[in-house]
Amino acid sequence: MNIWVINGPNLGRLDLRDSATYGDIAYADLVAFCEKTGKELGHTVSVFQSDDETEIIHLLHKAADEKVPVIINPAAFTHYSYAIRDAVAMLKAPVIEVHLSNPLSREEFRHTSVVSGVVNGTIGGFGLNSYELALRAISTIKAR
Ligand code: DQA
């Protein structure tokens, strides 16, 4: 299976973010982890990151056109981007929302995900293992 992992704003600078929340990792570690885990599971994983809402939406359009399964960490866009929600809703193949942290145990503004309603499932709170759990789950989802 060819799977796209799409990461939203500020995840490219995990080295600068609060390590108590996100772990002591850099974005390169996230990419290497997803590629290695995907390979072990027999998948080809392409990992993207953008701080730009438009760029993420265009990637989602491409994924919809090509019917590619998507694992997405929309980062802060999770909480307010109806445009990303609408683009996720167009996906034809399975899509899983992931978070490194558990947004529900953090500030109140993070308790809302405008994306959760249009994904197959959401995994959060397990650090990099959130991505592994999503990579394991995505091939078990039959259709949307
Ligand atoms: C995040 C949680 C979001 O609330 C936050 O804005 C992020 C990262 C996570 O992976 O835990 O940037 O999506």
pLDDT in tens, 8-61: 999 999 999 999 999 999 999 999 999 999 999 999 999 999 999 999 999 999
Count of structural domains, the chain: 1
Does any domain span residue 143? Answer: no
63 band by pLDDT with thresholds 50, 70 and 90: very high
Ligand 1 centroid to residue 73 C-alpha, Å: 7
pLDDT band at 1 (very low <50, low <70, confident <90, very high): very high
38 domain residue, yes or no: yes
Q: What is the per-residue pLDDT for 142?
A: 82
Which is more confidently placed, 143 or 138? Answer: 138
Active-site residue, from 61, 80, 82, 99:
99
Check if 75 has its Cβ closer than 6 Å to any atom of ligand 1. Answer: yes
Check if 99 has its Cβ closer than 6 Å to any atom of ligand 1.
yes
Ligand 1, atom nearest to 10 Cα: 12
Residue among 17, 33, 73 whose CB has most ligand 1 atoms within 8 A, to mutate: 73
Active site residue 99: yes
How far does the centroid of ligand 1 lie from the alpha carbon of residue 39, in Å?
Answer: 25
Q: Is 110 in the pocket of ligand 1 (CB under 6 A)?
A: yes
Q: Is residue 60 domain-resident?
A: yes
CA distances from 137 to 70, 72, 75 (A): 11, 13, 20
User: Is 144 a member of any domain?
Assistant: no
Per-residue pLDDT, 107: 98
Check whether 138 has a pLDDT greater than 90. Answer: yes
pLDDT, one tens digit per residue, over 81-111 is: 999 999 999 999 999 999 999 999 999 999 9
22 is catalytic: yes
Range of the domain at 7: 2-138
pTM, rounded to two decimals: 0.98
Q: How far apart are CA 58 and CA 22, in angstroms?
A: 27
Helix (H, G, I), strand (E, B) or coil at 8: coil
Tell me if 3 sits within 8 A of 38, measured CB to CB. Answer: yes
CATH number of the CATH domain containing 97: 3.40.50.9100
